Chain A
Protein backbone atom coordinates (compact mmCIF):
# COMPACT_ATOMS: atom_id res chain seq x y z
CA UNK A 1 0.00 0.00 0.00
CA UNK A 2 1.32 3.44 -0.94
CA UNK A 3 1.63 5.73 2.08
CA UNK A 4 2.29 9.34 2.93
CA UNK A 5 5.44 9.51 5.05
CA UNK A 6 5.97 12.21 7.66
CA UNK A 7 9.08 12.93 9.69
CA UNK A 8 9.73 13.32 12.53
CA UNK A 9 6.87 11.52 14.31
CA UNK A 10 7.51 13.44 17.51
CA UNK A 11 9.28 16.73 18.18
CA UNK A 12 9.83 18.48 21.49
CA UNK A 13 11.42 21.90 21.32
CA UNK A 14 11.81 25.08 23.31
CA UNK A 15 9.94 28.26 22.55
CA UNK A 16 11.75 30.36 19.98
CA UNK A 17 13.40 27.46 18.17
CA UNK A 18 12.89 26.65 14.50
CA UNK A 19 10.90 23.51 13.67
CA UNK A 20 10.87 21.78 10.29
CA UNK A 21 8.42 19.02 9.44
CA UNK A 22 8.74 16.95 6.29
CA UNK A 23 6.31 15.02 4.15
CA UNK A 24 6.75 12.60 1.27
CA UNK A 25 3.47 12.41 -0.66
CA UNK A 26 2.28 9.31 -2.47
CA UNK A 27 4.04 8.96 -5.82
CA UNK A 28 1.83 10.36 -8.56
CA UNK A 29 -0.28 12.54 -6.31
CA UNK A 30 -0.12 16.18 -7.42
CA UNK A 31 -1.93 17.86 -4.50
CA UNK A 32 -0.50 18.16 -0.99
CA UNK A 33 -2.26 19.49 2.11
CA UNK A 34 -0.97 20.50 5.55
CA UNK A 35 -3.43 20.25 8.44
CA UNK A 36 -3.08 20.92 12.16
CA UNK A 37 -5.15 18.94 14.67
CA UNK A 38 -5.94 19.99 18.24
CA UNK A 39 -8.57 18.78 20.67
CA UNK A 40 -10.34 22.13 20.58
CA UNK A 41 -10.28 22.93 16.86
CA UNK A 42 -10.11 19.55 15.18
CA UNK A 43 -8.41 19.45 11.77
CA UNK A 44 -7.58 22.92 10.46
CA UNK A 45 -6.23 23.44 6.96
CA UNK A 46 -2.98 25.40 6.98
CA UNK A 47 -1.99 25.29 3.30
CA UNK A 48 -2.22 23.25 0.14
CA UNK A 49 -0.30 22.90 -3.09
CA UNK A 50 -1.16 21.65 -6.53
CA UNK A 51 1.66 20.66 -8.88
CA UNK A 52 4.04 22.17 -6.28
CA UNK A 53 2.44 25.63 -6.52
CA UNK A 54 0.82 27.06 -3.37
CA UNK A 55 -2.92 27.50 -3.88
CA UNK A 56 -4.10 28.55 -0.44
CA UNK A 57 -2.11 29.31 2.69
CA UNK A 58 -4.71 31.50 4.38
CA UNK A 59 -4.86 29.15 7.38
CA UNK A 60 -1.24 29.77 8.35
CA UNK A 61 0.09 32.49 10.63
CA UNK A 62 2.20 34.18 7.96
CA UNK A 63 4.70 35.75 10.31
CA UNK A 64 5.99 32.44 11.64
CA UNK A 65 4.84 29.61 9.38
CA UNK A 66 6.04 28.78 5.88
CA UNK A 67 5.28 25.87 3.58
CA UNK A 68 7.18 24.81 0.48
CA UNK A 69 7.51 22.00 -2.03
CA UNK A 70 11.13 21.91 -3.18
CA UNK A 71 10.27 19.02 -5.47
CA UNK A 72 7.38 16.65 -6.17
CA UNK A 73 8.55 14.15 -3.54
CA UNK A 74 9.01 16.55 -0.63
CA UNK A 75 6.82 19.07 1.18
CA UNK A 76 8.05 21.03 4.19
CA UNK A 77 6.35 23.04 6.92
CA UNK A 78 8.52 25.37 8.99
CA UNK A 79 7.75 27.29 12.14
CA UNK A 80 10.15 30.06 13.16
CA UNK A 81 10.06 31.06 15.95
CA UNK A 82 7.93 28.36 17.58
CA UNK A 83 5.53 29.18 20.43
CA UNK A 84 3.77 26.97 23.01
CA UNK A 85 0.42 27.56 21.24
CA UNK A 86 1.85 25.77 18.18
CA UNK A 87 1.77 22.49 20.11
CA UNK A 88 -0.45 20.15 18.07
CA UNK A 89 -0.33 17.23 15.67
CA UNK A 90 0.54 18.30 12.13
CA UNK A 91 -0.72 16.12 9.30
CA UNK A 92 0.27 16.00 5.68
CA UNK A 93 -2.12 14.53 3.12
CA UNK A 94 -1.87 13.97 -0.62
CA UNK A 95 -4.40 13.44 -3.40
CA UNK A 96 -4.77 13.36 -7.17
CA UNK A 97 -6.67 16.10 -8.93
CA UNK A 98 -9.70 14.74 -10.76
CA UNK A 99 -12.20 16.49 -12.99
CA UNK A 100 -14.12 18.74 -10.62
CA UNK A 101 -12.16 17.98 -7.49
CA UNK A 102 -9.80 15.58 -5.75
CA UNK A 103 -9.46 11.91 -5.15
CA UNK A 104 -9.83 11.10 -1.43
CA UNK A 105 -7.05 12.51 0.71
CA UNK A 106 -4.46 10.05 2.01
CA UNK A 107 -2.94 11.08 5.32
CA UNK A 108 0.38 10.44 6.96
CA UNK A 109 0.55 9.55 10.66
CA UNK A 110 1.45 13.07 11.65
CA UNK A 111 4.15 14.92 13.57
CA UNK A 112 3.30 15.52 17.23
CA UNK A 113 4.88 18.85 18.15
CA UNK A 114 5.36 19.99 21.72
CA UNK A 115 6.75 23.48 22.32
CA UNK A 116 7.79 24.15 25.92
Chain B
Protein backbone atom coordinates (compact mmCIF):
# COMPACT_ATOMS: atom_id res chain seq x y z
CA UNK B 1 0.00 0.00 0.00
CA UNK B 2 1.24 3.46 -0.93
CA UNK B 3 2.28 5.59 2.04
CA UNK B 4 3.17 9.26 2.34
CA UNK B 5 4.55 10.83 5.53
CA UNK B 6 5.11 14.56 5.86
CA UNK B 7 7.15 16.36 8.49
CA UNK B 8 6.98 18.48 10.46
CA UNK B 9 3.23 18.67 11.07
CA UNK B 10 3.54 22.39 11.72
CA UNK B 11 6.28 24.94 11.16
CA UNK B 12 6.51 28.51 12.31
CA UNK B 13 9.06 30.76 10.63
CA UNK B 14 10.02 34.37 10.84
CA UNK B 15 9.74 36.27 7.60
CA UNK B 16 12.96 35.69 5.66
CA UNK B 17 13.90 32.54 7.60
CA UNK B 18 14.48 29.77 5.03
CA UNK B 19 13.55 26.14 5.78
CA UNK B 20 12.53 22.82 4.22
CA UNK B 21 9.51 20.57 4.41
CA UNK B 22 9.92 16.81 4.07
CA UNK B 23 7.81 14.19 2.29
CA UNK B 24 8.83 10.55 2.69
CA UNK B 25 7.06 8.01 0.50
CA UNK B 26 6.68 4.31 -0.15
CA UNK B 27 5.12 3.43 -3.47
CA UNK B 28 5.39 0.63 -5.97
CA UNK B 29 6.40 2.17 -9.27
CA UNK B 30 6.31 5.94 -8.74
CA UNK B 31 4.79 7.76 -11.70
CA UNK B 32 4.75 11.20 -10.15
CA UNK B 33 5.10 13.11 -6.90
CA UNK B 34 2.97 16.21 -6.51
CA UNK B 35 3.18 19.21 -4.21
CA UNK B 36 0.05 21.23 -3.45
CA UNK B 37 -0.70 24.32 -1.42
CA UNK B 38 -3.97 24.57 0.53
CA UNK B 39 -5.35 27.79 1.99
CA UNK B 40 -8.10 27.71 4.66
CA UNK B 41 -11.54 27.08 3.19
CA UNK B 42 -10.19 26.19 -0.23
CA UNK B 43 -9.20 23.13 -2.21
CA UNK B 44 -5.56 22.17 -2.74
CA UNK B 45 -3.82 24.14 -5.47
CA UNK B 46 -1.23 22.43 -7.64
CA UNK B 47 2.40 23.58 -7.34
CA UNK B 48 4.78 20.99 -8.85
CA UNK B 49 5.09 17.52 -10.34
CA UNK B 50 8.36 15.58 -10.02
CA UNK B 51 8.85 12.38 -11.98
CA UNK B 52 12.30 10.98 -11.27
CA UNK B 53 15.07 11.10 -8.67
CA UNK B 54 17.33 14.11 -9.12
CA UNK B 55 14.62 16.28 -10.64
CA UNK B 56 14.11 19.80 -9.31
CA UNK B 57 11.37 22.37 -9.93
CA UNK B 58 11.23 26.02 -8.85
CA UNK B 59 8.51 28.62 -8.52
CA UNK B 60 9.22 31.97 -6.91
CA UNK B 61 10.47 31.22 -3.37
CA UNK B 62 9.70 27.49 -3.59
CA UNK B 63 11.96 24.72 -4.83
CA UNK B 64 11.00 21.04 -4.87
CA UNK B 65 13.50 18.19 -5.08
CA UNK B 66 13.10 14.43 -5.36
CA UNK B 67 15.13 11.40 -4.30
CA UNK B 68 14.19 7.72 -4.45
CA UNK B 69 12.66 7.85 -0.98
CA UNK B 70 11.70 11.44 -0.26
CA UNK B 71 11.00 14.89 -1.56
CA UNK B 72 11.80 18.26 -0.07
CA UNK B 73 10.06 21.57 -0.49
CA UNK B 74 12.57 24.30 0.19
CA UNK B 75 11.23 27.75 1.04
CA UNK B 76 13.71 30.58 0.61
CA UNK B 77 13.16 33.87 2.43
CA UNK B 78 9.47 33.20 3.03
CA UNK B 79 6.85 35.92 3.26
CA UNK B 80 3.61 35.95 5.29
CA UNK B 81 1.64 35.17 2.12
CA UNK B 82 3.44 31.81 1.95
CA UNK B 83 1.51 30.74 5.05
CA UNK B 84 -0.61 27.72 4.10
CA UNK B 85 -0.74 23.95 4.43
CA UNK B 86 1.57 22.18 1.98
CA UNK B 87 0.51 18.73 0.82
CA UNK B 88 2.55 16.04 -0.86
CA UNK B 89 0.98 13.26 -2.95
CA UNK B 90 2.22 10.22 -4.88
CA UNK B 91 0.81 8.43 -7.87
CA UNK B 92 1.63 4.96 -9.20
CA UNK B 93 0.61 4.35 -12.79
CA UNK B 94 -3.12 4.57 -13.31
CA UNK B 95 -3.70 3.93 -9.64
CA UNK B 96 -5.03 6.34 -7.08
CA UNK B 97 -3.23 9.45 -5.90
CA UNK B 98 -2.33 9.18 -2.19
CA UNK B 99 -1.85 12.30 -0.07
CA UNK B 100 0.15 12.98 3.06
CA UNK B 101 -1.45 14.82 5.98
CA UNK B 102 0.41 18.03 5.21
CA UNK B 103 2.67 20.58 6.88
CA UNK B 104 0.99 23.71 8.19
CA UNK B 105 3.36 26.62 7.61
CA UNK B 106 3.01 29.93 9.39
CA UNK B 107 5.29 32.82 8.41
CA UNK B 108 5.37 35.64 10.94
CA UNK B 109 6.12 39.22 9.83
Q: Which A residues lie at the B interface, using CB under 8 A?
A: 4, 33, 35, 41-43, 45, 48, 50, 55-56, 91, 93, 97, 100-102, 104-110
Contact = CB atoms under 8 A, between A and B. Distances in A.
B97 A45 contact: yes
Interface of B: 31-32, 34, 36, 41-46, 49, 87, 89, 91, 93-102
A107 B43 contact: yes
B91 A109 contact: no
A42 B97 contact: no
A103 to B, nearest CB: 9
Contacts of A56: 95-96
Given A42-B102, A43-B87, A100-B31, A105 B97 contact: yes
Contacts of A100: 31, 93-94
A101 B87 contact: no
**Quick one: which of A4, A55, A102 has the most chain B CB within 10 A?**
A102
* A-side interface mostly: strand
A4 B43 contact: yes
**Quick one: which of B42, B91, B94 has the most chain A CB within 10 A?**
B94
A108 B99 CA distance: 16
A48 B59 CA distance: 30
A49 B86 CA distance: 26
A97 B94 contact: yes
Nearest to A44: B99
Nearest to B91: A101
Contacts of A106: 46
B46 A104 contact: yes
Contacts of A55: 94
